Amino acid sequence: MIKTEQKWDVIIIGGGIAGLTASIILAKANKKVLILDKGKHVGGRAITAEKAEGLLNLGPHAIYPNGPGVQILKQLNITLQGGSPAPKGTLVYQNKSYPLTLSPFALLTSKLLKWKDKREFIKLISGLSKIDTQTIQHTSLYNWVETHLKEEKVKELFYMLCRLSSYSNDPKRSSAGRIIEQVKLGLTGVTYLDGGWQTLVNQLKEQAITHGVFIQENKHIIEINGTHPNMTLIEQSGQTYTGSHVISTSTPANTLAMVKTKQPSSLKKWSEKCIPVKGAFWDIVLKKNSNLKVKFALGLDEPLYYSVHSAVANLTTKPDLHVIHLGKYLSIDDKIDPKKNQNQLERFLTSVEPNWEKELVFQRYFPSLTVYHALPTTDLPVITPEVPEISGLYVAGDWVTAKGLLADASITSAKTAANAVLTPKKELHHVI
Ligand SMILES: Cc1cc2nc3c(=O)[nH]c(=O)nc-3n(C[C@H](O)[C@H](O)[C@H](O)COP(=O)(O)OP(=O)(O)OC[C@H]3O[C@@H](n4cnc5c(N)ncnc54)[C@H](O)[C@@H]3O)c2cc1C
C-alpha cells in the first residue's frame, strides 16, 4: 500500500519497456520510484497473450541482439533466450513465389533476377557496411536509392529489406542514414524470444520490484503540474501523486496534453513532427497437422510479411501448434481500409500456405497498430529526454532521440532519461 501523501523522487508514467528500464536504473541509485500505468498490466506494446495455447506477441516482435537496447538489458541482468530465423524463405512477386535468400551464392541461381540485377544487388549488400550513414541523415531514402541504384528490381529488393528491418514504408520521408543503419543491424540477425516478449517484461518487472520500485496498474494520469522539486500528477479518479521528477513514457501527443504547468513549445514541436509508423497485423495459430512448407515470406511488389515465429522460438504450450505473424507495412499516405488489407494478407497467406483455413485454431486482426511513434524523417528534430521548459519533466520512449529504432530507442532513451534525473545539467553561468 502506498500513502497518497507520500513524496516520490521519481514518478514514471507508463510501465512499458521504457518505464520499467528507467525505474530499475533509478531504484538501483537509491531513488524512491513509482510507476503508474493506465493498463490492467504493465508491459505496454511488449505484452504477450496466450491464445488457444499459442503465445502471441502484439504483432511480430524480434529483438536485435546486436542493438544498443540489448546491451543495456544485459547490464540489468536480463537474459534473453530464443531462436534466430534463417535469412531465407519465399519471395512473392506478382503472385508468384521465388526463393528468398540474401546469400550471394544462392542469389546467382535466382530466376527472378537478371544478371545485371544480381551484380548490382551483390555489390549493394557487400558494400553496405562501408556506407557512412552519418552523412546521409538528412537525405531521403528515396533520393539515396535513386542516386545509387539503377535496376528497378534491386530498388524493390532494397525497399523490402528496409521495410523488414525498420517497419517503415515511407521512402520519400524517411532518413536514408537512419534506415540504412537499421538494415545493417537487421542483417546481423534477429531473435524471436522463447515465451514471447512477456518474458522480457516479466524479468524487468521482477528486477524493478526487487530494487524497491512501486508499481500501480489501472492508474490513468491526466495532468502533470508543477516543476522540480514539486511536481504533481492527477489521476482520472482525482487522486494526486507528488514527486520531485516525472518521466513520461506516454505518446508525444498525450504527454503534451497532460502538461498543465505551461505550454512547453519544444514538446509541442516534437509532437507535431512525430509521424507514427503503423502496420496492419494478423496473428494466427494453426494446428500442426502438416508441416508448413514456408517458414518466412516477404512481398516484393506488396509490403507484406509472413513468419512462423514458433518455428524458431518456444511459443506454444502444446507441441502441435504453429504461431504465425503476418503484417502489412502501412505508408502514411495509405487510406486505411481494414477489410482490403485483411483480404490482401489472406491472399498472401494462401499463396504460401494454401491449406491454412483448415488448420486455423485462433486469429486476431489489428487494422492499424503503432509500431513506433516517430518515423526517422529527414527533418525530425533531436528530441532530448529533458523537456527544456519544465525542469523536472523528462520523456522516454521509441520517439525520443537516442540510439536505434523501435525497442532499442525505448530502452536507450529510458537509460538517458534516468541518467539525466540522476545527474541534472548544471545551470550555465555566464562568465563576464
Ligand atoms: C506490431 C508491433 C511490432 C513491433 N515489432 C518490434 C520489433 O520487432 N522489434 C522491436 O524492437 N520493437 C518492435 N515493436 C516496438 C516495441 O514494441 C515498442 O517500441 C516498445 O514496446 C515500446 O515500449 P515503451 O515503453 O516505449 O512504450 P509502450 O509499450 O507503449 O508503453 C507505454 C506505457 O505507458 C502507459 N501509458 C500511456 N499513457 C499513460 C497515461 N496517461 N497514464 C498512465 N499510463 C500511461 C501505457 O499503458 C503503456 O503501458 C513493435 C511494436 C508493435 C506494435
- Domain positions in the chain are 7-46+199-272+379-422, 48-195+277-372
Mutation test of ligand 1: which of 246, 371, 383 has the most ligand atoms closer than 8 Å to its C-beta?
371
In short, whether 204's Cβ falls inside 6 Å of ligand 1 is no
Output the CA 398–ligand 1 centroid distance in Å.
8
CB atoms closer than 10 angstroms to residue 128: 15
Q: Is residue 221 lining ligand 1, measured as CB closer than 6 Å? A: yes
- State pLDDT tens for residues 97-119: 998 887 766 777 788 999 999 99
- Residue 426: pLDDT band (50, 70, 90) is low
Ligand 1 center to 322 CA (angstroms):
25
Q: Which pLDDT value is given to residue 431?
A: 38
pLDDT mean over 348-352: 95
For residue 158, count CB atoms less than 10 angstroms from its CB and return exposed for 0-12, middle for 13-18, buried for 19 or more.
buried
**3 state SS of 247:** strand
How much is the pLDDT for 429? 42
Q: Is 254 in the pocket of ligand 1 (CB under 6 A)?
A: yes
214-249 burial: b if 16+ Cβ within 10 Å, else e? bbeeebebeebbbeeeebbbbbeeeeebbbbbbbbb
**128-168 tens-digit pLDDT:** 999 999 999 999 999 999 999 999 999 999 999 999 999 99
| Cβ of residue 22 lying under 6 Å from some atom of ligand 1 | no
pLDDT of residue 320: 86
> From the CB of 385, is ligand 1 less than 6 Å away?
no
Ligand 1 near 201 CB (within 6 A): no
Predicted pLDDT of residue 252: 95
pLDDT at 280 over 80: yes
Task: Determine the pLDDT at residue 432.
Answer: 34
Q: Per DSSP, what are the bridge partners of residue 91?
A: 98, 298
Does 38 contact ligand 1 (Cβ within 6 A)?
yes
- 18 Cβ inside 6 Å of ligand 1: yes
Cα–Cα distance, 55 to 309 (Å, whole number) = 10
CATH node for 48-195+277-372: 3.90.660.50
Between the CA of 352 and the centroid of ligand 1 the distance, in Å, is 30
Ligand 1 site, residue 250, Cβ cutoff 6 A? yes
Q: State pLDDT tens for residues 175-187.
A: 999 999 999 999 9
* Arch. (CATH architecture) of 7-46+199-272+379-422: 3-Layer(bba) Sandwich (3.50)
* pLDDT tens, position by position, 241-275: 999 999 999 999 999 999 987 788 999 999 999 99
- pLDDT tens, position by position, 11-51: 999 999 999 999 999 999 999 999 999 999 999 999 999 99
With a 6 Å cutoff on the Cβ, whether 197 touches ligand 1 is: no
* Residue 428 pLDDT greater than 50, yes or no: no
pLDDT confidence bin for 430, thresholds 50/70/90: very low
> Over the stretch 198-250, which tens digit does the pLDDT of each residue have?
999 999 999 999 999 999 999 999 999 999 999 999 999 999 999 999 999 99
Chain segment 357-382, per-residue pLDDT in tens: 999 999 999 999 999 999 999 999 99
What's the 238 CA to ligand 1 centre distance in angstroms?
A: 26
Across 318-328, average pLDDT: 93
More confident residue, 3 or 107: 107
Beta strands, E only, 42-150: 48-51, 54-57, 82-83, 88-93, 96-101
User: How many whole angstroms from 303 Cα to the centroid of ligand 1?
Assistant: 23
pLDDT tens for 49-101 read 999 999 999 999 999 999 999 999 999 999 999 999 987 899 999 989 998 88
> Comparing 169 with 107, which gets the higher pLDDT?
169
The residue to mutate among 23, 45, 191, having the most atoms of ligand 1 within 8 angstroms of its beta carbon, is: 45
CA of 17 to the centre of ligand 1 (A): 7
Q: Is residue 232 within 8 Å of residue 261, measured between CB atoms?
A: no
C-alpha distances (whole Å) from 318 to each of 313, 362, 387 are 13, 14, 48
Give residue 192's Cα distance to chain centre.
14
Q: Is 59 in the pocket of ligand 1 (CB under 6 A)?
A: yes
307-339 per-residue burial string, b: 16 or more CB within 10 A, e: under 16: bbbbbbbbbbeeeebbbbbbbbbbbeebeeeee
- Cell digits for 58? 502484439
**54 Cβ inside 6 Å of ligand 1:** no
pLDDT (0 to 100) of residue 128? 94
Contact in structure between 373 and 276 (CB atoms under 8 Å): yes
